Amino acid sequence: MATIGHNNLNAKLVLLGDMGAGKSSLVLRFVKGQFLEFQESTIGAAFFSQTLAVNDATVKFEIWDTAGQERYHSLAPMYYRGAAAAIIVYDITSSDSFTRAKKWVQELQKQGNPNMVMALAGNKADLEDKRKVTAEEARVYAEENGLFFMETSAKTAANVNDIFYEIAKRLPRAQPAQNPPGMVLVDRPAEGARAASCCS
Amino acid sequence: MTDEEREGEGETRASIEPGSEDLPSSPSSSGYAAERGSTTATTDSQIEIHHDDDIEDDIAIEIDRISVSDSHSSWIPGKRHLDEDDASISWRKRKKHFFILSHSGKPIYSRYGDEHRLAGFSATLQAIISFVENGGDSVKLVRAGKHQVVFLVKGPIYLVCISSTDEPHESLREQLELIYGQMLVILTKSVNRCFEKNPKFDMTPLLGGTDIVFSSLIHSFSWNPAIFLHAYTCLPLAYATRQAAGAILQDIADSGVLFAILMCRHKIISLVGAQKASLHPDDMLLLANFVMSSESFRTSESFSPVCLPRYNPSAFVYAYIHYFDADTYLMLLTTSSDAFYHLKDCRIHIEMVLLKSSVLSDVQRSLLNGGMHVEDLPPIPCSGSSHLSQHMLPSDSPERFNEPNSSIGGPAGLWHFLYRSIFLDQYVSSEFSSSINTPQQQKRLYRAYQKLFASMHDRGIGPHKTQFRRDENYVLLCWVTQDFELYAAFDPLADKALAIETCNHICQWIKDVENEIFLLGASPFSW
């Protein structure tokens, strides 16, 4: 859950998507500026943090890079619970991964934080000749579902920082809606949600 | 079915490979009883040691070229020969196959080749198992020429090893048990429910991305003594250093952590468990293999569900994993799925203390110096004054001055030893002397120990107290008491009386340095 300090915002961000879509590659590009041609499968979830300056505020992302394997699906709530933002990643060269991404969106709409900032990332945009999912199709889907959409390439770094910046920019705007009555209970919704469903 | 019958049947089925793909897969395997107790007591304990310089992987040749003493460090992980299937000559020539399949005959894992292309072969294995089961029996072992086919049934999961490596079938069965355990580490026993819902359930997607975990485990079947000793090993450290590490782990274990484990590669630096919680050495081995073989844990801190099969095969615990450097890593296990931030704080605290007390640099130094060198075995038992660190120093101490010795090993032609403390559930392995410095030689010795271990613990003719055997490769001496087991390898020309005396010296030496090579006191091992 996003929490505001003075001009500092801590935001939990989760990456979801099919295995091999490039979640870890996006994070490693964003956090470490690295890219590995053969990124090994993530086990469970890896945790990263990265701070961004947006306008006159700083946003500290606490990033959960989850494993895409089927066996971890039932454990995903453990990682997205209380998240302020999510990037749902698919591989533009795989229709299956796009289908899987839509399922993640559905699940987050049902189970996740209702004020979550959701981004849809069509990764591997450098592989234009192997494309199976058109940008138009993804854009329409994203608009219908209130996500913002970008095609990214962890390999060439195209749009990678941009998508995180865009999330960071949208976060403060999402904040007032989160606590309509006032500023007193900033942390409460997160704590409540966590306590209520810790045994999922 | 008696063993003789089984053997006879093995002969008739001697070639499981040719033609057998035509066997229809039997769909009627649903009515079998799971985990039936074994009544096999095979009487074949051939004691001869065969030449075992066969190479299971072409990779081994490469390892030799690099010529390192630590064979596993240069092993290239990951699955190989994906292009093979049961029709490939190369596939059939592999010395040791491992298969996991479902009770409906669906392939789940194969060491070599692509699982999906082995569907016919898997169905054949399933047919053999259910054929015997339909007769109210269960097949454990088939011998076919120099091949042994070992079967292990775990509920809806079947495990099969086909090996021509001449390892004792008891050892192969234990290896299958460990492979099953590794699968549980990843999935827990709840995977069985998938088969209750749908007997034809395809399990391969559930294991996606874990080939490397299994191949690394299978590789350790030829170098890691913990596999057959069922014991831990510790990184040699000064007593005070290990105490310091233990104290800080104990602090955080009191704050709701189930197990706090600090490790360097596959060796324990320190380990602390919550009250009454005990960690079985096999769980430790499987957990360490899981963590070390998965590159993903090295890139960042992780929080992952894992199952400890001996602790509770049906449930996940959650592991916080963090590498302090390339070799040293911390595992904090908890039952609470939202403990990540707490464990992260614990780690930051632990890291601070470890850095301040220079534990991490001591660990690196120990890694460089290695453990017990047979060349450093004191010529006469000198109790009280001995310290491991003295022997590790490349000084011109009296033990060291006999330089020619080091080219042929320790006193009396001692080449290597393994010592397992039964009370502590820990073992120590000496460094390999220069006489066994190639991976092939080390693997051959490993297999010889493995065979020796099996014959010492043979339920039919054992257990034994001592064994002395000589062949063209070694003199092997084994000594088992209530407190320890000692396995020692000597030059094949070693004198028997001297060898026995040397074993006494080894035991004395270990007693002298036990503070440094073992994790003592407050150990959660032996509750």
- Residues of A near B (CB-CB distance < 8 A)? 19, 24, 28, 40-48, 65, 67, 69-72, 75, 78, 81, 194, 198-200
Which one of B204, B207, B300 makes the best mutation probe of the A interface by having the most chain A beta carbons within 10 Å? B300
Q: Which of B207, B303, B316 sits opposite A45 (nearest CB)?
A: B303
Buried (b) or exposed (e) across B441-477, using 16+ Cβ within 10 A? bbbbbbbbbbbbbbbbebeeeeeeeebebbeebbbbb
Please say whether the beta carbons of B124 and B146 come within 8 A.
no
Please say whether the beta carbons of A2 and A9 come within 8 A.
yes
Give SS3 for B228. helix
Residue B428's nearest CA partner among B268, B275, B272 is: B268
* Inter-chain touch B209–A45, beta carbons under 8 Å: no
* Inter-chain touch A75–B344, beta carbons under 8 Å: no
Give SS3 for B16. coil
Give the pair of three-digit tokens for residue B318: 């959650």
Alpha-carbon gap, residue B449 to B228, rounded angstroms: 9
Average pLDDT over residues A37-50: 93
pLDDT band at residue A177, thresholds of 50, 70 and 90?
Answer: very low
Q: Which of B187, B319, B337 sits opposite A78 (nearest CB)?
A: B337
Alpha-carbon gap, residue A5 to A109, rounded angstroms: 27
pLDDT band at residue A173, thresholds of 50, 70 and 90?
Answer: low
Tell me: ipTM over 0.85.
no
Please say whether the beta carbons of B202 and B101 come within 8 A.
no
pLDDT, residue A4, reads 61
Please say whether the beta carbons of B85 and B114 come within 8 A.
yes
How many helices (H) and strands (E) chain B has is answered by: 17, 16
* Inter-chain touch A41–B301, beta carbons under 8 Å: no
Q: How far is CA A75 from CA A71, A199, A200, B53, B296, in A?
A: 8, 10, 8, 46, 18
**In this predicted model, what pLDDT tens digit does every residue of A103-151 receive, in sequence order?**
999 999 998 888 999 999 999 999 999 999 999 999 999 999 999 999 9
How many Å lie between the alpha carbon of B290 and the closest alpha carbon of chain A? 10
Give SS3 for B289. helix
Asked if the model's pLDDT at residue A1 lies above 50, the reply is yes
How many Å lie between the alpha carbon of B338 and the closest alpha carbon of chain A? 7
Tell me the residue type at B429. Answer: S
Tell me the residue type at B475. Answer: V
Alpha-carbon gap, residue B287 to B481, rounded angstroms: 30
Question: Which positions ≥6 away from B490 have C-beta within 8 Å?
Answer: B409, B412, B413, B414, B415, B474, B475, B476, B477, B499, B502
* Inter-chain touch A41–B337, beta carbons under 8 Å: no
User: Average pLDDT of chain A?
Assistant: 86
Q: How far is CA B127 from CA B17, B106, B123, B130, in A?
A: 14, 11, 6, 5
Please say whether the beta carbons of B339 and B318 come within 8 A.
yes
The larger pLDDT score, comparing residue A12 to residue B47, is at A12
Question: Which positions ≥6 away from A114 have C-beta within 8 Å?
Answer: none
Alpha-carbon gap, residue B460 to B464, rounded angstroms: 11
Alpha-carbon gap, residue B146 to B169, rounded angstroms: 12
* Inter-chain touch B208–A41, beta carbons under 8 Å: yes
How many Å lie between the alpha carbon of A140 and the closest alpha carbon of chain B? 31
Residues of chain A with C-beta less than 8 angstroms from the C-beta of B297: 43, 46
| Preceding peptide of B205 cis, ω within 30° | no
Residues of chain A with C-beta less than 8 angstroms from the C-beta of B206: 69-71
Q: How far is CA B309 from CA B146, B271, B284, in A?
A: 33, 18, 10
* Inter-chain touch B338–A198, beta carbons under 8 Å: yes
Which one of B203, B294, B296 makes the best mutation probe of the A interface by having the most chain A beta carbons within 10 Å? B296
Judge residue B217's burial from the number of C-beta atoms within 10 Å of its C-beta, 0-12 exposed, 13-18 middle, 19 or more buried.
buried
Q: Which of B212, B296, B338 sits opposite A42 (nearest CB)?
A: B296
Asked if the model's pLDDT at residue A200 lies above 50, the reply is no
Nearest residue on chain B to A74, alpha-carbon basis: B305
Alpha-carbon gap, residue A16 to A100, rounded angstroms: 10
* Inter-chain touch A44–B304, beta carbons under 8 Å: yes
Distance, C-alpha B183 to centroid of its chain: 15
Dihedral pair phi/psi, residue A10, rounded to 5°: -100, 125
Alpha-carbon gap, residue B45 to B458, rounded angstroms: 8
Which one of B186, B337, B342, B346 makes the best mutation probe of the A interface by having the most chain A beta carbons within 10 Å? B337
How many Å lie between the alpha carbon of B320 and the closest alpha carbon of chain A? 10
> What pTM, to 2 d.p., does this model score?
0.82
Give the pair of three-digit tokens for residue B482: 């209530």
Alpha-carbon gap, residue B502 to B410, rounded angstroms: 9
User: Can you give the pLDDT of all 527 residues of chain B as single tens digits?
Assistant: 434 333 333 333 333 333 333 333 333 322 222 222 233 333 333 333 333 334 444 443 333 333 333 444 456 666 667 888 888 888 998 999 999 999 999 999 999 998 888 999 999 999 999 999 999 999 999 999 999 999 999 999 999 999 999 999 999 999 999 999 999 999 999 999 999 999 999 999 999 889 999 999 999 999 999 999 999 999 999 999 999 999 999 999 888 899 999 999 999 999 998 877 789 999 999 999 999 999 889 989 999 999 999 999 999 999 999 999 999 999 999 999 989 999 999 999 999 999 999 999 999 999 999 999 999 998 754 444 445 544 444 444 444 444 444 446 788 899 999 999 999 999 999 999 998 989 999 999 999 999 999 999 987 776 778 999 999 999 999 999 999 999 999 999 999 999 999 999 999 999 999 999 999 875 444 44
How many Å lie between the alpha carbon of A157 and the closest alpha carbon of chain B? 19
Alpha-carbon gap, residue B421 to B198, rounded angstroms: 46
Residues of chain A with C-beta less than 8 angstroms from the C-beta of B300: 46-48, 65
Judge residue A146's burial from the number of C-beta atoms within 10 Å of its C-beta, 0-12 exposed, 13-18 middle, 19 or more buried.
exposed
Q: How far is CA B8 from CA A117, B129, B142, B407, in A?
A: 68, 16, 9, 49
How many Å lie between the alpha carbon of B209 and the closest alpha carbon of chain A? 6
* Inter-chain touch A71–B207, beta carbons under 8 Å: yes
Alpha-carbon gap, residue B327 to B366, rounded angstroms: 12
Tell me the residue type at B212. Answer: I
The 3-class secondary structure across B170-188, one letter per residue, is HHHHHHHHHHHHHHHHHHC
* Torsion sign over Cα B437, B439, B445, B446: positive
